[in-house]
Chain A
Amino acid sequence: MKPFDYVRPATVAEAVAAAALPGAVFLAAGTNLLDLMKGGVSRPDRLVDVTHLDGLDQIERLPDGSVRIGALVSNADLAHDADFARSYPAVAEALLSGASAQLRNAATVGGNLLQRTRCAYFYDTASRCNKREAGSGCDARDGENRSHAVLGWSENCIATHPSDFGVPLIALDAVVEIEGRGGRREIALDELHRLPGDAPERESALEPGDLIVAVRLPPAARAFASHARYLKVRERTSYAFAIVSAAAALRIENGKIAEARLALGGVAAKPWRARAAEDVLRNVAPTADAFQEAAWRALEGAKPSGDNAFKIELARRIVVRALLLAAAGTPARIPALPASPFAATSGAIHA
């Protein structure tokens, strides 16, 4: 690991100033960053430790009905907050389907969203990677790429974003609160991550020094609580990243879908909101036929980036099944194997 300077700012403003310098990065739990530093993938000159800052580890219910999640709330504390899990069950299920219990105890809300891709060529410093080293090339294009992107990729980068948490968040219109050199601002989570285009090394809308201080779910996000699921296919049933995942949330009134929300994980460089699919589900009955149509819309424009054409059909089936599970109703308790299609209690039928 390359040597670095360590600073522990006392305030958010000090943290922003310290991290705005070239070569500086924020340290939260470090569950991804330390791994990257040990492998020489990340080589920061300075770590700005934000874990001791006050006021960033609260879950607040705001008077307007939204919830504000501090950036330092751990993945486990958020998933196990009973009121949060009741109000946003797909978010809790997604959190519990990610990583291991040890990692969820440490990993933070802000860190989860800013974790880096698990593309093996990004991690292997002997490989060419445009994300790690701009302009060097992409060895994933002709490499082992069955888990890579099928939406929004470019010739320069076919990596996917690994977060589960971000998938239901983006479906529920989450907002990210950012403290930067110019003060406080907020952006839609959908605008936080960038598609690779010709600059895959630029992964987010954040500027030097920008610190995510909170994530907010708007009042409308609670309305999906009784019909919301997260479904995730992976190489093993626990402690693995998604090959494909989907968050589905429905607001059902008088037997019809008043509003649908749908997002996909494991398919693109960002959590992928499928608005075209949501549009065809407005004011229709929640039937398998309607969900098939939505699945086709969700994957419109998808194309293989390598040996991964199977992911397109897999994603369609996961979308249909996630929507069927959501329509059947949120279970009283998160299944023993969260988000797994193999969970005994999922009540799932094959699409």
Chain B
Amino acid sequence: MNHSISLTVNGARRDFVLDDPRVTLLDLLRERLDLTGTKKGCDRGQCGACTILVDGKRINSCLALAISHDGADILTIEGVARGDQLHPVQAAFIAHDGFQCGFCTPGQIMSAIGMISEAQAGNDPERIRECMSGNLCRCGAYAGIVDAVLEAQGHMEESNQRRSA
């Protein structure tokens, strides 16, 4: 039996016919939309490489059935920059060497964007490490990642204050 769903992906509405309900959001993004920035690491919710925002919240897309998320608003790593202007978290990862091989990086960045909007960590590095513990980095770039998240969070708070001032 075919199932029709529609999603908003990086601002654009996309309609899909699923001939099998087993497809995850991760596989839908990668296989149907060629949005391969979202990575398949463990495929079991343990590594965080597949992190995306669904309705503004970071989740593991490997453990989410696409069919169950009919109508959802999805943001992936491909949708965070504005043209050539990098998202502040992307820029901070480059500035602080927050990666080595880069495989976990899209998930790290999406998780950091989600974390900053959750506003739970403040500027405490220990809280940031705890709040980012769902993203593994096998190269061990954690020190740079924490520095990048701290700096990006500061920039985003400043620009929010400027906007609201």
Contacts and interface: CB of A to CB of B under 8 A. Distances in A.
Given A6-B21, A239-B134, A102 B43 contact: no
Interface in A206-247: 238-239
B159 to A, nearest CB: 23
Given A5-B1, A34-B63, A336 B48 contact: no
A34 B24 contact: yes
Contacts of A103: 45, 59-60, 63, 134
Contact of A239 (B21, B24, B133): B133
Contacts of A30: 63-65, 68
Given A5-B1, A34-B65, A106-B63, A100 B134 contact: yes
B22 A4 contact: yes
Interface in B64-87: 64-65, 67-68, 70
A38 B20 contact: no
A101 B111 CA distance: 9
Contact of A6 (B3, B24, B124): B3
B20 A101 contact: no
A3 B20 contact: yes
Given A30-B68, A31-B45, A336 B22 contact: no
Of the candidates B22, B70, B124, the one having the most CB atoms from chain A within 10 angstroms of its own CB is B22
B120 interface: yes
Interface string A68-102: 00000000100010000000000000000001111
B97 interface: no
B13 interface: no
A102 B60 contact: yes
Interface residues of A, number: 33
A105 interface: yes
Given A4-B22, A344-B126, A100 B63 contact: no
B134 A102 contact: yes
Given A27-B65, A31-B63, A100 B133 contact: yes
A30 to B, nearest CB: 6
Contacts of A1: 22
Contacts of A100: 48, 133-135
Contacts of A289: none
Interface in A27-42: 27, 29-31, 34-35, 38-39
B75 to A, nearest CB: 14
Given A30-B63, A101-B115, A51 B134 contact: no
B155 interface: no
A103 B58 CA distance: 9
A290 interface: no
A126 to B, nearest CB: 17
Interface string B113-125: 0110010100010
Of the candidates B51, B129, B133, the one having the most CB atoms from chain A within 10 angstroms of its own CB is B133
15 contacts: A5-B1, A27-B68, A30-B64, A34-B65, A38-B43, A76-B57, A76-B118, A101-B58, A101-B133, A102-B58, A103-B63, A238-B129, A238-B133, A337-B130, A338-B130
Given A29-B64, A99-B134, A101-B133, 7 more contacts: A30-B68, A49-B67, A102-B45, A103-B134, A238-B129, A337-B130, A338-B130
Interface of A: 1, 3-6, 8, 27, 29-31, 34-35, 38-39, 47, 49, 51-52, 76, 80, 99-103, 105-106, 238-239, 336-338, 344
Give the 5 A-B CB pairs with smallest separation, nearest first: A100-B134, A238-B133, A6-B21, A336-B126, A239-B133
